[in-house]
Copies of this chain bind each other. A is one copy, B any other.
């Protein structure tokens, strides 16, 4: 029974993080540093003896690189032997370090842009795992190593409590400052508009130009949906100077945008 408390501790720590607009900043890092060692204790409860290395399966760091470089595609779940690896990666500093390098590249790119200042420059953001983090959910649902459960995930989304990814916020406000308008294009469906707006606002995002959600019943791929929405922006005279997401399906498909950025996400894959 003593073990049963561990996930609650983690959940409390993550919820404390999510209640703040600056989740994952250095203050929260201290929380996570305390949380990270609990991952091992969590293993038995989460039904996995996740390995840090390759024992019993694919080498997890190479698999993750394969995912990020778009060599590993169409995967359904994190390899069973990599649940512990992905947990450590996400809750420790590694994920944030990788994420920050991508955002540093976006900022350098923005600094190098020659903008015409006519109000037609836009930047496309995905939401889940790009702007808001669902890590509080995945930390208690096997870090992507268990099959996707739409019911429990939707219940989490409807709480509207997902913490901001602070590095993305840094990019977001940089763009507003230089006159590039943020546009959200998300795979969340239209019925989640209110909770999504509320979640974004509570996490400190405001001033976006558009928030496009998927029409309920849309059956196409993420690539076809998202590229069609970008096409509409372009046809309306906007210039997509940048496009950022955690999935390759966020950034592939013409018109991609003048430059694309792939944020790290070893937890799930969307075609």
- Residue numbers of A with Cβ under 8 A of B are 54, 58-59, 61-63, 65-66, 68-73, 94, 97-98, 100-102, 105, 260-262, 264
Q: Which residues of B contact A94 (CB under 8 A)?
A: 61
- Cβ of A65 and Cβ of B66 under 8 Å apart? no
Q: Which residues of B contact A62 (CB under 8 A)?
A: 97-98, 100-101
A-B contact pairs, 30 of them (CB 8 A): A54-B97, A58-B101, A59-B101, A61-B94, A61-B98, A62-B97, A62-B100, A63-B101, A65-B65, A65-B98, A65-B101, A65-B264, A66-B98, A66-B101, A66-B102, A66-B105, A68-B68, A68-B69, A69-B69, A69-B70, A69-B264, A70-B260, A70-B262, A71-B101, A71-B102, A71-B105, A71-B261, A71-B262, A72-B105, A73-B105
Identical copies in the complex: 2
- For A103, give the chain B residue with the smallest CB separation: B71
Nearest CB of B to A191, in Å: 33
- For A248, give the chain B residue with the smallest CB separation: B69
Q: Which residues of B contact A261 (CB under 8 A)?
A: 71
- Cβ of B105 and Cβ of A59 under 8 Å apart? no
- For A65, give the chain B residue with the smallest CB separation: B98
- For A93, give the chain B residue with the smallest CB separation: B59
A192 to B22, CA, bound (A): 56
- For A96, give the chain B residue with the smallest CB separation: B62
A199 to B97, CA, bound (A): 41
A14 to B73, CA, bound (A): 34
| A70, A71, A100, A102 — most chain B CB neighbours (10 Å) | A71
Nearest CB of B to A96, in Å: 9
Q: Which residues of B contact A97 (CB under 8 A)?
A: 54, 59, 61-62
Q: Which residues of B contact A73 (CB under 8 A)?
A: 105
Q: Which residues of B contact A66 (CB under 8 A)?
A: 98, 101-102, 105
Q: Which residues of B contact A264 (CB under 8 A)?
A: 65, 69
Q: Which residues of B contact A63 (CB under 8 A)?
A: 101
A98 to B60, CA, bound (A): 10
